[in-house]
Amino acid sequence: DATLVALIGRPNVGKSTLFNRLSRRRDALVDPTPGVTRDRHYARVVWEDHPFILVDTGGIDDEDDTITNHIRHQAMLAIEEADIIFFLMDGREGLTPSDVEIVALLRRTEKNVFFIVNKIDSPEIEAGLLTPFWELGVEPLWALSADHGYGLNTLMAGVLPCL
Ligand code: GDP
Ligand code: MG
């Protein structure tokens, strides 16, 4: 079976931006697999000859749901069905209580989890924006700019052994 990589994280952290960046690579194919949850997008991506399926989770559809509940649900689904989890946080927003809670959940899985701090658009701001996230006690933290591409090759080099 193809390796499944799931993108999870609060709304607005940049999941869809990363999905689009990875899925618009020459060898990617956006594949609306029938019979799967409607609010999720799937793309077939090949990175250095290693194929995987990337899953982007949608927004909140239940208005009564809290963001943390929603992400907890996403995280539990991802822990169940994905092989690799990209947990995205927002480097510009800083660390949030919701991030702390979801990280605690993700630390308990045997799946490969990549803890990613997005919106780090240049190396100059990397150290400063990462600092609050060290409090999570997870290593490594992957600095990324889904928008500009900074950190993507480094992240994917780390992912490659898991593919
Ligand atoms: P999602 O809700 O997690 O899917 O987040 P989106 O991908 O829709 O991005 C939310 C907002 O953050 C958009 O305005 C993006 O342009 C912006 N964004 C995403 N990635 C980056 C990044 O690496 N740097 C900056 N500065 N903005 C970003
Ligand atoms: Mg999105």
Q: What is the atom index within ligand 1 of the atom nearest the CA of 118?
A: 23
Alpha-carbon distance of 143 to 113, in angstroms, equals 14
Helices (H) and strands (E) in the chain, counts: 5, 7
Verify whether ligand 1 is closer than 6 Å to residue 31 (CB atom).
no
Sign of CA dihedral 67, 72, 77, 78: positive
Q: Whose CA is nearest to atom 26 of ligand 1?
A: 119
Running DSSP on this structure, what letter comes out for residue 140? P
Check residue 84 and give its pLDDT. Answer: 96
Find the DSSP H helices in 4-163: 15-23, 67-81, 97-106, 126-130, 152-159
Provide mean pLDDT across the span 61-80: 78
**Overall pTM > 0.80:** yes
Would you say 147 is a known binding-site residue?
A: no
Contact 7, 144 (CB under 8 A): no
Average pLDDT value for the chain: 87
Verify whether ligand 1 is closer than 6 Å to residue 93 (CB atom).
no
Model confidence pLDDT, tens digit, residues 5-19: 999 998 899 998 999
Local confidence band at 63 (pLDDT 50, 70, 90 cut-offs): low
Pocket test for ligand 1, best of 7, 8, 12 (most atoms within 8 A of CB): 12
- Record the tokens describing residue 57, joined without a space: 């989770």
Check residue 74 and give its pLDDT. Answer: 83
Tell whether the model's pLDDT for residue 120 goes beyond 70.
Answer: yes
Local confidence band at 163 (pLDDT 50, 70, 90 cut-offs): very high
Would you say 57 is a known binding-site residue?
A: yes
- Record the tokens describing residue 17, joined without a space: 């931006």
ipTM reported for the complex surpasses 0.85: yes
